[in-house]
A and B are shown apart, each in its own frame.
Chain A
């Protein structure tokens, strides 16, 4: 408590200073304009390359547009079409399966790695670097490497056969029941090191007194994890879950490189579907509608995470 009051003091003083300055008299109009001058170039650039196209894309979502001729207003027709098309439900289901499995997987593995590294002070730095390394490689490169590994005649099946486990060898990316899990596994493999860092930072924030108090009270490892570590890690978990949720909803590279949405559309996600509808089928308006839907889903998910974070803070 004392610490938090001390932390707040400078802010309070600064705020009081601002009030004093403001009370001393209003700044001249030219002075008030200065911040806007600095903000204007970045603001204009952001509007031109981010805000403008996004708003334009949102407009096209309500039109039938082929990218060549003038768009025709269709209202909510494109959205209705998505939910009535035979592939729409599948695309949504694949996306949700990936989101749920990836978020659970990457955060569990990340937390596991962070907890494990906490107990290995000697090799911690080396292992941390090794685990984090895949996260700095392009997802496309990682996906192509794994595509080679998971190929029917790839090293994984060759290794299984060499070990006498030939019966377990699979065309991993060719079967619907293994292709989707394979995508999730590749993503978890790549990004669990990244989430490990988030949880390591969270673990370092647990105060030594709390740890010592738990030990003195005789808490076992499981009890310590469940009642001390996990509650203290909630902010880190919230960040980890939020980031992994957004990443998995907007997933594109890995699916395109690993399966291309196949076999027979069994791993098609919202991201790859949007791309194909626009650039393969030339249905730009419909594609923009699905993209807008994706934005909505991500916003709802992110808002849910933020709300959970606020609840934790309060």
Chain B
């Protein structure tokens, strides 16, 4: 082969690689790439994809799944390189650096406002699924914070579900006297369950009096340190610690250890979101758990349930096939009630005239939802994950014996940024 022929052959071989590598990522008109989180048992997305393929002959759909952290990091990387998947699972609102609002702030997501399901999004979720006027995320499932318990265990211990905060403290002292712990707790790994308890407290202490606190904080109209409700919520957390509500090693316990403690009956209750059911059932899959509203106030009328979308689907602005991606979301939204049943979740966009809902094991929360006694999942309104880190650290400090809670609220205000990082 002559020198010229060799160069020509090399060029011919390299050209397809160059074309592939330098392309703008525009996908085939009939291909759809979905990137989502792995590990969810009975993940509805598999069924949705199967039915979408059947309803759209000739369309190729590929689903790539990765563990939570890996998925979010990979998504960020692909968004930055300009070759993102067509549909991506992410967390709605703020709270994580790769959550939907953080990405929308950078103009990286497609506006989905024209989709029919956007009209049915709950009013309270509009600032989480978009910026109030536009919608950037299809909220797949809903989550609510409450208290997990096993009715049989409470019966065995001859104690009943508390309905006021004072009853919570009394229950904690009673159980501590018997060598038991009222609430499974973990302060490790950036907050763990401490934050759920604190959110449940803040729901009643902050949002019962000021339902729009989240939006006012976002607009810079108030601060944590200057809000009496936030101070009261921190004080109540301190009172719970002093009453022996948590294990003495709670500050360093892992989630798994807390779940084990709950499964073994050492801890009788656990505050978490409805989507953490599997964590507490992992210690004993035969546990028949129920949920009751966590009473964050002594006035039952002020008890509020934090509720918000759990996961959502977004379409990146640079998606190769945005049209097909939107069609997929519309398809999913149409059958959302049926798909949600597959993993025993509840669609974040209510079907028909129903308001927000919870799974059957959390039916005790329903009257509060029906009466509109809800609060947001607070960190979905916090633009910087550092705010949550500071909050979690402050709560862990309380578990470690710190008595002054004001520095934590000031640190949260200091970590607040106008824009998500």
Given A176-B400, A263-B399, does the pair A67, B80 have CB atoms closer than 8 Å? yes
> C-beta contact mask, B392-406 vs A, less than 8 Å → 1, else 0?
011011011000000
Query: Does residue B372 face the partner (Cβ distance < 8 Å to A)?
Result: no
Structural contact, B249 and A282, CB atoms closer than 8 A? no
| Residues of chain B with a CB closer than 8 A to A151's CB | 249, 253-254, 257
Structural contact, B188 and A260, CB atoms closer than 8 A? yes
Structural contact, A174 and B384, CB atoms closer than 8 A? no
- The size of the chain B interface, using a CB distance under 8 A, is 41
Query: Does residue A281 face the partner (Cβ distance < 8 Å to B)?
Result: yes
Query: Does residue B421 face the partner (Cβ distance < 8 Å to A)?
Result: yes
Within the complex, the shortest CB–CB distance from B263 to chain A, in Å, comes to 12
Query: Does residue A265 face the partner (Cβ distance < 8 Å to B)?
Result: yes
CA distance A282 to B96 in the complex (A): 8
Structural contact, A279 and B69, CB atoms closer than 8 A? yes
Structural contact, A280 and B251, CB atoms closer than 8 A? no
Query: Does residue A195 face the partner (Cβ distance < 8 Å to B)?
Result: no
Structural contact, B76 and A281, CB atoms closer than 8 A? no
Query: Does residue B162 face the partner (Cβ distance < 8 Å to A)?
Result: no
Structural contact, B73 and A262, CB atoms closer than 8 A? no
| Residues of chain A with a CB closer than 8 A to B257's CB | 151-153
| Residues of chain A with a CB closer than 8 A to B143's CB | none
CA distance A260 to B103 in the complex (A): 27
Structural contact, A172 and B252, CB atoms closer than 8 A? yes
CA distance A174 to B266 in the complex (A): 18
CA distance A264 to B266 in the complex (A): 25
* Closest Cβ neighbor of A262 among chain B residues: B188
* Closest Cβ neighbor of B254 among chain A residues: A147
Within 8 A of B (CB), among A69-89: 69, 86
| Residues of chain A with a CB closer than 8 A to B80's CB | 67-69
| Residues of chain B with a CB closer than 8 A to A279's CB | 69, 73
CA distance A279 to B411 in the complex (A): 21
Structural contact, A282 and B251, CB atoms closer than 8 A? no
Within 8 A of A (CB), among B368-421: 384-386, 389, 393-394, 396-397, 399-400, 411, 420-421
Given A67-B76, A152-B247, does the pair A282, B421 have CB atoms closer than 8 Å? yes
Query: Does residue B327 face the partner (Cβ distance < 8 Å to A)?
Result: no
Per a CB cutoff under 8 Å, which of B79, B252, B397 touches A175?
B252
Query: Does residue A283 face the partner (Cβ distance < 8 Å to B)?
Result: yes
* Closest Cβ neighbor of B103 among chain A residues: A68
Query: Does residue A173 face the partner (Cβ distance < 8 Å to B)?
Result: yes
| Residues of chain A with a CB closer than 8 A to B248's CB | 152, 171, 174
CA distance A254 to B98 in the complex (A): 26
Query: Does residue B321 face the partner (Cβ distance < 8 Å to A)?
Result: no
Query: Does residue B97 face the partner (Cβ distance < 8 Å to A)?
Result: yes
> C-beta contact mask, B224-264 vs A, less than 8 Å → 1, else 0?
00000000000000000000000111111110010001000
| Residues of chain A with a CB closer than 8 A to B157's CB | none
Structural contact, A263 and B98, CB atoms closer than 8 A? no
Structural contact, B393 and A282, CB atoms closer than 8 A? no
Within 8 A of A (CB), among B187-214: 187-190
Within the complex, the shortest CB–CB distance from B41 to chain A, in Å, comes to 23
| Residues of chain A with a CB closer than 8 A to B250's CB | 171, 174
Structural contact, A265 and B393, CB atoms closer than 8 A? yes
CA distance A118 to B190 in the complex (A): 46
Within the complex, the shortest CB–CB distance from B420 to chain A, in Å, comes to 7
Structural contact, B97 and A174, CB atoms closer than 8 A? no
Structural contact, A263 and B396, CB atoms closer than 8 A? yes
CA distance A176 to B187 in the complex (A): 13
Within the complex, the shortest CB–CB distance from B117 to chain A, in Å, comes to 27
How extensive is the interface on chain A, given as a class? 20 to 34
Given A151-B249, A152-B248, does the pair A281, B187 have CB atoms closer than 8 Å? no
Query: Does residue A259 face the partner (Cβ distance < 8 Å to B)?
Result: yes
Query: Does residue A179 face the partner (Cβ distance < 8 Å to B)?
Result: yes
> C-beta contact mask, B60-94 vs A, less than 8 Å → 1, else 0?
00000000010001001101100000000000000
CA distance A66 to B419 in the complex (A): 11
CA distance A265 to B393 in the complex (A): 7
> C-beta contact mask, A164-189 vs B, less than 8 Å → 1, else 0?
00000001111110010000000000
Query: Does residue B106 face the partner (Cβ distance < 8 Å to A)?
Result: yes
> C-beta contact mask, A247-282 vs B, less than 8 Å → 1, else 0?
000000000000110111100000000000001111
| Residues of chain B with a CB closer than 8 A to A280's CB | 96-97, 190, 385, 389
Within the complex, the shortest CB–CB distance from B51 to chain A, in Å, comes to 33
Structural contact, A171 and B249, CB atoms closer than 8 A? yes
* Closest Cβ neighbor of A282 among chain B residues: B97
Structural contact, A282 and B396, CB atoms closer than 8 A? no
* Closest Cβ neighbor of A267 among chain B residues: B252
Structural contact, A262 and B251, CB atoms closer than 8 A? yes
Within the complex, the shortest CB–CB distance from A181 to chain B, in Å, comes to 13
Within the complex, the shortest CB–CB distance from A107 to chain B, in Å, comes to 28
Query: Does residue B102 face the partner (Cβ distance < 8 Å to A)?
Result: yes
Structural contact, B421 and A66, CB atoms closer than 8 A? yes
Query: Does residue B305 face the partner (Cβ distance < 8 Å to A)?
Result: no
Structural contact, B97 and A262, CB atoms closer than 8 A? no
Within 8 A of B (CB), among A169-225: 171-176, 179
Per a CB cutoff under 8 Å, which of A67, A68, A263 touches B187?
A263
| Chain A residues proximal to chain B, CB less than 8 Å | 66-69, 86, 147, 151-153, 171-176, 179, 259-260, 262-265, 279-283
- Pick 19 A–B contacts, CB within 8 A, sort by A: A66-B97, A67-B77, A68-B76, A151-B253, A151-B257, A152-B252, A153-B249, A174-B188, A174-B251, A175-B251, A259-B252, A262-B188, A262-B396, A263-B399, A264-B394, A281-B389, A282-B97, A282-B420, A283-B421
Q: A173-B252, A280-B96, A282-B102 are in contact. List 18 more A-B contacts (CB 8 A).
A: A68-B108, A69-B80, A147-B254, A151-B257, A152-B247, A152-B248, A153-B249, A171-B251, A172-B252, A174-B187, A174-B188, A264-B251, A264-B393, A264-B400, A281-B97, A281-B389, A282-B98, A282-B385
